Chain A
Amino acid sequence: MQHDYGHFEEDQLGKPYDIRLMRRLWPFVRPYRRWLVLTIALVIVLTFLDLSMPYITKIAIDRYIVPQQTSSDAAAEGDGVRPYTVRLDGPDVRKVVERHPNLFRVQGGQATIPFEALERLSPTEVRTLRREDLSGVGMLALLLLVVTAAHFGINFVQMMIMEYAGQMVMHDLRMRLFNHLQGLSVAFFSRQPVARLVTRVTNDVQNMYELFTSVIVFIFKDLFLLVGITAVLMAINWRLSLVTFTVLPLVLAASMHFAGLARDAFRELRIKVAEINARFSETISGIKVIQLFGEQEPNYRRFTRLNHENYLAGMRQIHVFAVFMPVIELLSAVALATIIWYGGGRVVQGTLSLGELVAFISYIRMFFRPIRDISEKYNVMQNAMASAERIFLLLDNKDGLRKPDPARPDPGFLDGEPLSVVQLDRVSFSYNPGEPVLQDIQMELRRGETLAVVGPTGSGKTTLMHLLLRFYEPDEGRILFNGRDIGNADPQAVRERTALVTQDPFLFTASIADNLRFGNPDLDEAGLRQVLESAQCAEWVRRLPDGIETVLSEGGQSVSSGERQLLSIARAMARDAELIILDEATSYVDSETEERVQAALGHLIADRTAILVAHRLSTARGADRIAVMHHGRIIESGTHAKLLENRGFYYRLYQLSR
C-alpha cells in the first residue's frame, strides 16, 4: 500500500530509472549493510520455503496419494492401468488380499491391484491396505505446518529488519539533507520558498523510502523466486520446463513493450496532475483578483479543459493496463494449457508423475504473480525516482557564500582575543547586478561604542546588518574585526561574537526557557532569572500559568507582540555577545510596553559594542555615533550634537520629529 504524504510541486519529470541514483543511495545504505545482508539471507530462506510448499504437495501425491509405479511394475506399463502394490507383511493386510483374490495379483511378498479397483474395496479395507500412505500424508502435513509456521516467523522478522534498515537509511538521508540545506547561504533561502524545501526533507524522503523497500522486494524476493522456480521446474522435468517456457519470450516482450507504454502514460498523467495542482493553487492565491475582475467563468473553462486532458491521460493509462494484464493472464493460461497437454502426455507415457504435473501447475501460478504485480511497483518506483532526483539535486547544490574558498583562510580567527574594533572598509553590495544596495560604506566602531544607523526605508540598513553577520559577502571592500577580514573566517566564528535582534521577533515553538537557551545553551536557572529580569520580562512571565515553561506557539495568544519583542531582546542578552546587531522593531506596541522595550534595549547595549538600525530618532539619539544612510550610501555621520550642527538631512528629520 502506498501512503500519500501531501502534494508536492512537480517541477521536473521523473526520468526512467537511473542506475546512478542507486549508486548515490549506496553511501547511505552502507552503514546498514549487515542488516541488508541479513535481510537478503532471510529472503533466500523464504524463497526456499515458498518453493518447498508445492514440492511437499508433490511428494504427498506421488508417494502416498497416487503412488508411482516402480520399475518392477514394468508389466503394468503401457496398458493404461495404474497399479497399486502392497507388501504382504501384516496379518490384516494379508486378510484383505485374501478376501478379494480376483482383484489382487500376488507375486512373491507383494500384491498388486489396479488403482481404479481400490474403489471396490470397503473404506476400512482401503485404510488397512494404505496405512503407510495415511501416516505418510500425516507426516507431510506436519512438515507443511512446520514450513508454514517458519515462513510466518521468518517473513515477519525479515520485514521488520528491512523496515528498520530502511527507516534508518531514510533518517540518515533526511538528516544529511537537512544539515546540507541548513549549511547553505541565506541567499539560497531568500530565493527558495521554504515550503518547497520542507517538502524535500519530509515528503520526498518518505517517497524514497518506498523506492528502498520496493527495490529490495523486487530485486531479491521476486527475482529470487523467479530464478528459484525456474531451477525447480528444470530439476523436476527439464523437457516440460523448456516446453512451458516457450511462452517466456512473449512474456518478456509484452513486459518490455508495456514498460515503455506505461512510462509514457505515467509521465503524461504526472504532467497533467502537476498542472492541475498549479492551477488550483494559483486560483486559491489569486482568488481576490479573479473575483474582482469577474474571471470565474473563463478560469473555470480553462480548468475544465485541463481537467479533461487529465481524464483522457488517465483513460490512456487504463487502456495500457487493461491490455497488459489480460495479455499476461492469457500467456499464463497458455503455459498452463501447455503443461496439461504436453505434461499430461508425459504422464500417460510414464515419464512424468502426477504429483510432478500438479507441482508444475502450482509453480507456474507462482511464477506469474510477481510479473502481474510489476505494474504497481512500477508506479511506486517512478514516484520514488522523481523524489530521489529532486533530493540529490538539492544535495548537489553547493550554494555557499559567494566566495566559497577564501583566498587566505583564517582558521584561528581572533582566537580568544576580545573584539576591540569593527571596521567596514569601502563596502559595496548588490543583490542583483546593476542594482547597488550598498555603496562605498566606511565606518569604524570601537569596543563599547554604540552606532545608530538611520535613514528612509530601502536605504540599505538591514542589508548592512546581514553583511556583518556574513549572511552575504560584500561585492567590494572588506569587513574587519580587530583588523582581520571576516571574509576569510569561518562564518560561525564571526557569528559567535555577535547577537542579532531582528525587526520581527522570530521565536521558536518551544518554552520561554528553551527560547532563551537558544541564545546560550549553558544558561542555568539563576542566569535565566537574571536575563528575564534585565529584559523586563520577569514580572509578566511569572504571571503566566506555566511561567517560564510556557510554550510559545505560532500565532499563540498567550504572549503579545510587545512581549515577543522583549523575549527576543532577552535571548540576545542570554548570549552575552561582544557585538550586538539590532534591527529596531517598527510594529506598534502600547506605550507601557514601549517603555519596557526601551529599558530592555538600554540594558542590552550598555557596556557592549552595538550597531542598531533605529527607526525612531529617539533611539538614535542615545547612540555614541549616528550614521545616516540614503540610497545605499552614508550621507552623514557623527554624534547627535554634531549632526544637528551640520544642519543636514538628520537635522531636518529631527526637527520634523519633534
Chain B
Amino acid sequence: MQLIKPYFLANRWRILTGLLCLTAVDFLQLCIPLVVKRAVDDLTALNVVPSRLLVYAGWIVALAVFIGLFRYVWRRCLIGTSRRIEEGIRNQLFAHLQQLSAEYFDRSKTGDLMAHATNDIQHIRMATGMGIVALTDAIVLGTAAVGFMITIDLRLTLLVLIPAPLIVFGTRIFSRKLHQRYRVVQESFAELTETVRERFSGIRIVKAYTRENGSSAEVDRISRRYVEKNLLLVRVTRSLFPMTIFFSNLGMVIVLYAGGRLTISGTLTPGDLVAFINYLGMLTWPMMAMGWVTNLIQRGKASLERIQRILEERPLILEETGTTAAPENCSGGLSAEAVSFRYPSEDGRRRVNALSKVSFRIEPGQTLGIVGPPGSGKSSLLQLIPRIYDVSGGRIRLDGVDIRHWPLHRLRSSVAYVPQEPFLFSGTVRHNITFDDPDIGDERLHRALRMARLDRTVASLRQGLETVVGERGVVLSGGQKQRIALARAFLREEAPLLLLDDPISQVDTETGNDIIGSIRRMSATRTVVIVSHRISAVRFADRILVLDGGKVAASGSHDALLAEGGYYADTFRMQEVEESFHAA
C-alpha cells in the first residue's frame, strides 16, 4: 500500500476533482427519472400543454450535457491518474531491477519478471483506475438510487430490496468457488504450457523416436483436461451473471406486483411507479459491479504486493561503508588470496564450491592467463573481479585494496570486460559499441574496430555502423557478435584492467590470432586477465593458472607448464596437432 500512497498524494487534487465530478454525474443521472416521473404524472392526468413537455425534454437534454461534461472530466482525472501511477511504478521497477545483482537474476525466471512488469502493473492500473471509479460509482449510485426510492415509497423500497442481500450473499459464495476454480484453471494452463514447451524443446528426440503421435496424444489429453477445468470454472462465472440479472428482474416482478397494486389503490402515482422502474434499472449495475470491482481490486492488491516484494529486494553487492582506502588512480595490480566461491542457491541447498582457495598475484601491466577443462571455474573467477558476484571466502585485492572496499562504480569503470556470451542490444552497431557516448570520437572508435578486426565487417554491412542488429543481434553471426563485444571493451582505453572470457571462441583461427595480437599490444600498458580454451591465446601471458574442479591445478609461465606436463601440456599438443592439420 505504501507503494501507491505517494502517487495518491501527488495526484490528490486531480483525484478529488474526478471523484466530485463522478458524484455529480451520478446525482444528475438520478434526476432524469425524476423529470420522467413528472412528465408521466402529468400525462396520466392528461392535463399537460405541449410547451410543458418541451420543457421536460429540454431538462433531460440539459442534464445530459452536464453529465457528459462531468463525465469527460472524471475520466481524464481518474483514469488518467491510473496511467500516471502505471508510468511511475513501472519506472520505479525498472530502475530498481537495474540495481539488483546478478545473483537475483539467476534465481528469478525472466518470464516471471516480465509478467510482473506487464500483467501486475496492468492490474494495478485497472484497480486504481476503473476499480476506484466503479467502486465509487456503485456506492454513490446505489445509495442515491435507494434514497430516491425511499422518498417515493418506503414500503415498496424495502420490498424491492429483498433480492439485494441474495445478490450480495450469492456473489460471496460464488466468488469463493470462483477463486478456487480459477486457481485450478491456472494450474492446468501452466501444465499445458509446460508440456508443450517440453515437447518442443525435445523435438529432436520426439522425431528421432517417431513419437509424434504419442506426443500429440499427451498434449491432447492435457488440453482436454484444461477444457474440462475451464468448463467447471465457467459454470460458476457464467451462472454469476444470469443470477444477478435474475435477482434484479425479481425486483422488477416485485415492483410490478406490489407497486402496481399500490398504484391501483391510489397510494402511488403512475409516475412514481415509472420512476421506481427506472431507479431499479439503475441499481442493477451497481449490484453487478460489486462482484467485479472486488475482484479487480483484490487482483490489484495482490499485484501490488508482488511488485512491492521485488522493490524490497536489496542488491547483494553493495558499496561497503568504509570505502576510503581506495587510491585515486587505479594502476591495475591484482591479487587473489585463497578465494572460494559458491553460487548462491535458491532453495537453500548447499552447492559445491565453484572455486576453492584460488590464489594468484599479478603486477600492474602484467597478463594472467586462465585455462582448464569446462566447468573448472574459469568464468566464475573472472566474474568475481568486477564483483558480478562476491567471493564466498578469501579476498581479491586491486592495488592492494580489497575490491569490496572500492566504490563500486569506480571498480567497474576500471574494468573492460568481454563476457563469454556476447550480449547485444537491439539498437545499431554503433550503439552497441559506444552506448551513444558523445565523447567518443570517430578516430577512437575506428581504432577499437580495427583492433577487434571488425573494421572490414562493418564496412561490408549495408548501413555500416548504423546497421540495426535486431533482438540480441540476430542479424549477425556469432563471430561478429563476439567481435562487437571485443570492440566495446577495447574502446574503454582508460580502463587499466582488461578481462576477457574466451574472447576468440567463435572466430576462425586467423582472425583469432590477429585479435590475440591486438590484445598483446594492449597488454604492454594494461593488466590483462584472459580466459581461453585455446592455449595459443594465453601462451604469451606472464603467468598462467590451470584450474581443475575449482582448484588451481598448476600455475606458471607457458614454458614452465609445458615442462611440468599434465593438462596444460596435453591440451597444448592436441591443439597444435589440430592447428597443423588446419594449415595443411
On whether the beta carbons of B214 and A126 are closer than 8 Å, the reply is no
On whether the beta carbons of B257 and A290 are closer than 8 Å, the reply is no
The CA of A653 and the CA of B579, in the complex, are separated in Å by: 12
Chain A interface residue count, CB cutoff 8 Å, equals 157
CB distance from A335 to the nearest CB of B (A): 10
Within 8 Å by CB of B71, from A325, A506, A652, lies A325
Within 8 Å by CB of A148, from B215, B249, B281, lies B249
On whether the beta carbons of B209 and A333 are closer than 8 Å, the reply is no
On whether the beta carbons of A277 and B80 are closer than 8 Å, the reply is no
CB distance from A153 to the nearest CB of B (A): 8
The CA of A493 and the CA of B105, in the complex, are separated in Å by: 45
**A140-B256, A354-B43 in contact; A123/B58 too (CB < 8 A)?**
no
**A7-B119, A148-B246, A652-B577 in contact; A326/B68 too (CB < 8 A)?**
yes
On whether the beta carbons of A653 and B574 are closer than 8 Å, the reply is yes
Task: Assess whether B196 is interfacial by the CB under 8 Å rule.
Answer: yes
CB distance from A475 to the nearest CB of B (A): 19
Within 8 Å by CB of A322, from B58, B75, B90, B110, lies B75
Complex interface: stretch among A86-94, A291-299, A378-386 = A291-299
Task: Assess whether B199 is interfacial by the CB under 8 Å rule.
Answer: yes
Chain B residue contacts of A399, Cβ below 8 A: none
The CA of A456 and the CA of B533, in the complex, are separated in Å by: 13
Query: Per-residue CB proximity of B249-264 to A under 8 Å, as 1/0?
Result: 1101110110011011
On whether the beta carbons of B46 and A119 are closer than 8 Å, the reply is no
**A123-B267, A278-B426 in contact; A141/B256 too (CB < 8 A)?**
yes
On whether the beta carbons of B425 and A286 are closer than 8 Å, the reply is yes
Task: Assess whether B582 is interfacial by the CB under 8 Å rule.
Answer: yes
Chain B residue contacts of A163, Cβ below 8 A: 230-231, 234, 238
The CA of A469 and the CA of B206, in the complex, are separated in Å by: 12
On whether the beta carbons of A178 and B219 are closer than 8 Å, the reply is yes
Chain B residue contacts of A171, Cβ below 8 A: 223-224, 226-227
On whether the beta carbons of B97 and A283 are closer than 8 Å, the reply is yes
CB distance from B129 to the nearest CB of A (A): 9
Q: From residue 233 to 257 of chain A, which have CB atoms closer than 8 A to chain B?
A: none
Complex interface: stretch among A35-43, A60-68, A100-108 = A60-68
The CA of A588 and the CA of B236, in the complex, are separated in Å by: 54
Within 8 Å by CB of A348, from B35, B50, B245, B386, lies B50
Q: From residue 111 to 143 of chain A, which have CB atoms closer than 8 A to chain B?
A: 115-116, 118-119, 121, 123, 126-127, 130, 133-134, 137-138, 140-141
Task: Assess whether A521 is interfacial by the CB under 8 Å rule.
Answer: yes
CB distance from A549 to the nearest CB of B (A): 17
| A333 nearest CB neighbor, chain B only | B64
On whether the beta carbons of A53 and B114 are closer than 8 Å, the reply is no
On whether the beta carbons of B196 and A198 are closer than 8 Å, the reply is yes
Chain B interface residue count, CB cutoff 8 Å, equals 147
Q: From residue 485 to 535 of chain A, which have CB atoms closer than 8 A to chain B?
A: 491-492, 495-496, 498-500, 502, 506, 508-509, 518-519, 521
Complex interface: stretch among B5-13, B270-278, B359-367, B536-544 = B270-278
Within 8 Å by CB of B234, from A82, A148, A160, A189, lies A160
On whether the beta carbons of B91 and A80 are closer than 8 Å, the reply is no
| B474 nearest CB neighbor, chain A only | A191
On whether the beta carbons of A336 and B60 are closer than 8 Å, the reply is yes
On whether the beta carbons of B581 and A181 are closer than 8 Å, the reply is no
On whether the beta carbons of B238 and A160 are closer than 8 Å, the reply is yes
The CA of A159 and the CA of B72, in the complex, are separated in Å by: 35
Complex interface: stretch among B321-329, B336-344, B412-420, B518-526 = B412-420
On whether the beta carbons of B110 and A284 are closer than 8 Å, the reply is yes
Complex interface: stretch among A311-319, A411-419, A422-430, A438-446 = A311-319
Within 8 Å by CB of B36, from A181, A361, A506, lies A361
Within 8 Å by CB of B69, from A1, A281, A326, lies A326
| A577 nearest CB neighbor, chain B only | B209
Question: Which of B87, B201, B256, B423 has the largest count of A CB atoms less than 10 A from its CB?
Answer: B256
Query: Per-residue CB proximity of A151-177 to B under 8 Å, as 1/0?
Result: 110011001100110011011001100
Within 8 Å by CB of B375, from A60, A123, A182, A588, lies A588
Within 8 Å by CB of B67, from A60, A300, A329, lies A329
CB distance from B228 to the nearest CB of A (A): 9
Task: Assess whether B302 is interfacial by the CB under 8 Å rule.
Answer: no
Chain A residue contacts of B265, Cβ below 8 A: 123, 126-127, 130, 134
Chain B residue contacts of A318, Cβ below 8 A: 75-76, 79-80, 83
Chain A residue contacts of B84, Cβ below 8 A: 311
Chain B residue contacts of A471, Cβ below 8 A: 204, 207
On whether the beta carbons of B249 and A66 are closer than 8 Å, the reply is no
CB distance from B251 to the nearest CB of A (A): 10
**A4-B119, A344-B39 in contact; A115/B65 too (CB < 8 A)?**
no
The CA of A333 and the CA of B83, in the complex, are separated in Å by: 30
The CA of A206 and the CA of B415, in the complex, are separated in Å by: 48
Task: Assess whether A285 is interfacial by the CB under 8 Å rule.
Answer: yes
Chain B residue contacts of A167, Cβ below 8 A: 227, 230-231
On whether the beta carbons of A321 and B204 are closer than 8 Å, the reply is no
Query: Per-residue CB proximity of A2-22 to B under 8 Å, as 1/0?
Result: 001111000000000000000
On whether the beta carbons of B246 and A151 are closer than 8 Å, the reply is yes
The CA of A581 and the CA of B205, in the complex, are separated in Å by: 12
The CA of A178 and the CA of B226, in the complex, are separated in Å by: 15
The CA of A365 and the CA of B274, in the complex, are separated in Å by: 14
On whether the beta carbons of B94 and A283 are closer than 8 Å, the reply is yes
**A65-B264, A178-B196 in contact; A340/B39 too (CB < 8 A)?**
yes
CB distance from B517 to the nearest CB of A (A): 22
Within 8 Å by CB of B219, from A155, A175, A273, lies A175
The CA of A456 and the CA of B113, in the complex, are separated in Å by: 40
Query: Per-residue CB proximity of B77-104 to A under 8 Å, as 1/0?
Result: 0011001101100110011011110100
Question: Which of B32, B54, B216, B581 has the largest count of A CB atoms less than 10 A from its CB?
Answer: B581
Complex interface: stretch among B141-149, B167-175, B187-195 = B187-195
Within 8 Å by CB of A500, from B102, B196, B204, B249, lies B204
Task: Assess whether A194 is interfacial by the CB under 8 Å rule.
Answer: yes
On whether the beta carbons of B102 and A194 are closer than 8 Å, the reply is no
Q: From residue 345 to 391 of chain A, which have CB atoms closer than 8 A to chain B?
A: 345, 347-348, 354, 357-358, 361-362, 365
CB distance from B40 to the nearest CB of A (A): 7
On whether the beta carbons of B201 and A329 are closer than 8 Å, the reply is no
The CA of A305 and the CA of B552, in the complex, are separated in Å by: 49
Chain B residue contacts of A300, Cβ below 8 A: 91, 94-95, 98
Chain B residue contacts of A7, Cβ below 8 A: 114-115, 118-119
Chain B residue contacts of A587, Cβ below 8 A: 375
On whether the beta carbons of B43 and A347 are closer than 8 Å, the reply is yes
Task: Assess whether A559 is interfacial by the CB under 8 Å rule.
Answer: no
CB distance from B54 to the nearest CB of A (A): 5
Task: Assess whether A219 is interfacial by the CB under 8 Å rule.
Answer: no
On whether the beta carbons of A56 and B64 are closer than 8 Å, the reply is no
Q: From residue 398 to 423 of chain A, which have CB atoms closer than 8 A to chain B?
A: none
On whether the beta carbons of B423 and A298 are closer than 8 Å, the reply is no
On whether the beta carbons of B388 and A518 are closer than 8 Å, the reply is no
CB distance from B20 to the nearest CB of A (A): 16
The CA of A304 and the CA of B98, in the complex, are separated in Å by: 13
Within 8 Å by CB of B260, from A141, A174, A291, A635, lies A141
Query: Per-residue CB proximity of B263-295 to A under 8 Å, as 1/0?
Result: 111110010011001100100000000001001
On whether the beta carbons of A329 and B71 are closer than 8 Å, the reply is yes
Task: Assess whether B378 is interfacial by the CB under 8 Å rule.
Answer: no
Within 8 Å by CB of B61, from A183, A334, A649, lies A334
Chain A residue contacts of B98, Cβ below 8 A: 283, 287, 290-291, 296, 299-300
Within 8 Å by CB of A179, from B68, B216, B235, B237, lies B216
Could you pull out 21 A-B pairs where Cβ atoms are within 8 angstroms?
A1-B295, A7-B115, A61-B273, A82-B46, A144-B256, A148-B246, A152-B245, A159-B241, A171-B227, A174-B223, A179-B216, A206-B189, A315-B76, A322-B76, A330-B67, A333-B63, A340-B39, A341-B56, A361-B274, A502-B204, A575-B209
A300-B91, A318-B80 given; 7 more Cβ-contact pairs under 8 Å: A4-B122, A57-B252, A144-B252, A336-B60, A344-B53, A500-B205, A502-B205
Question: Shortest 6 CB-CB distances between A and B: which pairs?
Answer: A333-B64, A326-B68, A141-B257, A322-B75, A337-B57, A341-B57
